[in-house]
Structure 1
Amino acid sequence: MTLGSKIAWDDTVLPFQLDNSDIRGRVARLDGVLDGILKQHDYPPVVEALVAEMALLTALIGQTVKLRWKLQLQVQSKGPVRMIATDYYGPTEEGESARIRAYASYDADRLTDGAPFDQIGNGYFAIMIDQGHGMTPYQGITPLAGGSLASCAEAYFAQSEQLPTRFALSFGKSTERGVKEYWRAGGVMLQHMPKASPFAKGSEATGDDGLLHARDLVDGEDGENWNRANLLLDTVEDLELVGPRISPTDLLIRLFHEESPRVFDAQPVRFGCTCSEDRVRQSLSIYSSKDIKTMTTEDGRVTADCQFCGAHYDLDPKTLGFEAGGTDGDAD
């Protein structure tokens, strides 16, 4: 693909490389995905903003996941927003859309009038990659650091992966004339591939809470390239990231034309949940009939709700657990 060509701007992730800097990255834009995620819940605005930021990070990071792999991002916190969880499902075939889903758990009575990240207390940021059946999932965890979820992700890559990483994100509600308000998000991710482990050269951690920072991982020519690319990214404006009238390719030309940007095939993404009645039944198959009885409502049913998409499942308890005799034919 040449840089002069246009691609669909909404709900895509465009990978690119800066040939003069040994840096690669992604440009992402989400709107329909966020609508699919957020309309399932009635989140307060500060929680919506956190979920939007987390979904955008998930799209940018998840683009590197191989076919049929699953990436999960999670924040666990002692603050009013206790948890944010997102899943990215790699496409099943080349050219198909990846799928994203997300949800948050929070204490409404503890939310404040502060900024979205103020609703998160001490805790951790985690990334897990599931490569499929028979493979051991990979998981990395770092403490929450910085003043945003993007800062937490940057600290994760520096500390756990030793990869200098930078995010520039923008998200909020669109207020275009004549169009109902809805959430949009856009962002750029940069990542420098180091030639050696920073621990081999005795790097000192200069990030928040004694964690490694991207600047600790590169020096010499690599450090100059990284600093230059970051200075160029500092010039990006919010409207360039989320606005509907500039394509990712045009944005890359504006920001990095001196770095010889080269783009690759764009990855479409959409909202998608993997819940199903079969999965609910499978999760309950480890329980005895006595256990199932404790889960049964006064109406004689076992119910379950998906936290991601809000789907409701209503099942006959006689058909559940390892002692069940069969299904009741419900298609709830």
Structure 2
Amino acid sequence: MTNIEDFGPGSIAPAGVDAVLPFQVEGLDVRGRSIQMGPALSTLLDRHNYPLPVSKLLGEAVVLAVLLGSSLKFEGQFILQTQTDGPVDMLVVDFRTPGDLRAYARFDAEKVAEMEAAGTLEPALLLGNGILAMTIDQGENTSRYQGIVALDGSSLEDVAHTYFEQSEQIPTAVRLAVAEMMTREDGKVTHSWRGGGLMVQFLPESEDRMRHRDLPGGDAPSDLDFELDEDDAWVEAQSLVATIEDHELIDPDVSTERLLYRLFHERGVRVFEATAVQDHCSCSRERIEGVLRSFSAEEITESIEDGEITVTCEFCGLVYRFDPAEFSN
């Protein structure tokens, strides 16, 4: 752990791109994580060649999943998945500790094109109504934990706030930004993706400071006007996070440490060891073969096309081909 303004000999090296950076602001009793993504996000999104608005939406889900999944203190898997009635009816992001990442989107190309023509490509409209599930899997011989929150036309940022308020009861502020970047080098225009995110949580040591004031009971007058009292430190932290512009989260010239210093230097911000994230799919021929061996003879027959069984990984696009004779027994 080190003061963010002190990167001398023996200090923690700057996080750089595609690395999530934990931090703490003791003066405000807040902790959090921040990340800038570049090559890893570009590789992941460009592999699928989705329409730009779909890629941007999936990119936001990826950044959110990294911020949440990187908090796991054990070897495991964090899965963020949406199921909705919108043009993009499914997003799946699979984060495996310490930093392996894969993702894909399922969408109606015709509906997305119609929205693009009408100029109504807001992320919330692309998602529509449904649910967002966050699943934590610690592996064999353990129970999965799953939190579910409704998607009702809100942004992924707003949904994250709702999740922590309802499921975790931890005051949380989240900022996400993803953008397509176009740069010119030697007369050629190159394309890439940049993403960034920051999550701050109010985690004071005192339980009294964490406690929310109770809401009025069900028999309170319907016209009663009330406000929830919030801790002054948390109000200040939220106000500082609200000053972040999208471009600051994705700008290559604004490092994660520089952004954190701008926000919290007056209160004293400390950073911890950064963890790299990478585009990496866990699919393998052995795993898929194991799944196929669990099929019945009828299911194997139904899977044969042009004399072979073909399986394509939705995440990375790799194609696996099998001889049906391998599964004849």
Superposed pair shares fold, TM > 0.5:
yes
Distance in structure 2 (CA, Å) of the matches to 1:234 and 1:200:
22
**Matched AA of 2:260:** L
What secondary structure does 2:193 align onto?
Answer: strand
Q: 1:22 & 1:285 partners in 2: Cα distance?
A: 53
- Of 46, 49, 69, which aligns to 2:53? 46
1:239 and 2:252 matched: no
Structure 2: runs of 5 or more not aligned: 8-12, 218-226
Measure, in 2, the Cα distance between the counterparts of 1:293 and 1:119: 37
- Return 181-190 or 239-248, whichever deviates more: 239-248
Structure 1 residue 254: deviation in Å? 0.7
- Residue 198 of structure 1 and its aligned partner are, at CA, apart by 8.2
Task: Give yes or no for the alignment of 1:185 onto 2:195.
Answer: yes
Q: Are 1:146 and 1:152, in contact at CA under 8 Å, matched by a contact in 2?
A: no
Normalising by the residue count of structure 1, what TM-score does the alignment of the two structures yield? 0.85
Distance in 1 (alpha carbons) for counterparts of 2:82 and 2:208: 29
CA displacement at 1:241 relative to structure 2:
1.1
Match of 2:214 among 191, 196, 202: 202
**Counterparts of 1:141 and 1:203 in 2: how far apart (Å)?**
23
The two structures, once aligned, show a CA RMSD in angstroms of 2.2
Of 149, 162, 175, 1:142 maps to 149
- Paired position in structure 2 for 1:209: none
> Please, which of 257, 262, 274 is the counterpart of residue 265 of structure 2?
257
Q: Which amino acid aligns with 1:202?
A: D
Write out aligned runs for 1:1-332 (5 A): 1-4=2-5, 5=7, 7-91=14-98, 98-111=99-112, 112-113=115-116, 114=120, 115-145=122-152, 147-178=154-185, 180-193=190-203, 195=207, 201-203=213-215, 219=229, 223-297=231-305, 299-320=306-327, 324=329
Moved more, 192-201 or 68-77: 192-201
Superposed displacement of residue 145, structure 1: 4.2
Structure 1 moving runs of 4+ over 6 Å: 196-200
Alpha-carbon deviations, 1:124-166, whole Å to 9, x = none? 1110000111101100101014631111111111111111111
Aligned-pair distance for 1:289?
Answer: 2.1
Q: Which has the higher strand share?
A: 2
CA distance in 1, matches of 2:132, 2:297: 38
Distance in 1 separating the partners of 2:61 and 2:316: 16
Aligned residue pairs total 302
Instruction: Give the Å deviation of 1:69.
Output: 0.8
Q: Which moved more, 1:36-45 or 1:70-79?
A: 36-45
Q: For 2:265, what is the secondary structure of its paired residue?
A: helix
**Using the alignment, how far apart are the partners of 2:156 and 2:214 within structure 1?**
28
Q: Distance in 2 between matches of 1:198 and 1:76?
A: 33
- Any idea what SS the aligned residue of 2:27 has? coil
CA distance in 2, matches of 1:313, 1:203: 56
Structure with higher RCO (Cα < 8 A, 6+ apart)? 2
Give 5+ residue unaligned stretches, structure 1.
Answer: 92-97, 206-214, 325-332
SS in 2 for 1:258: coil
Task: Determine what percentage of the aligned residue pairs are the same residue.
Answer: 38
Q: Distance in 2 between matches of 1:103 and 1:132?
A: 22
For 2:21 and 2:321, locate their aligned partners in 1 and report how far apart those are by CA, in whole Å: 41
Q: Tell me the amino acid that sits aligned with residue 261 of structure 1.
A: V
Q: Distance in 2 between matches of 1:58 and 1:308?
A: 15
Aligned-residue offset at 1:224: 1.2
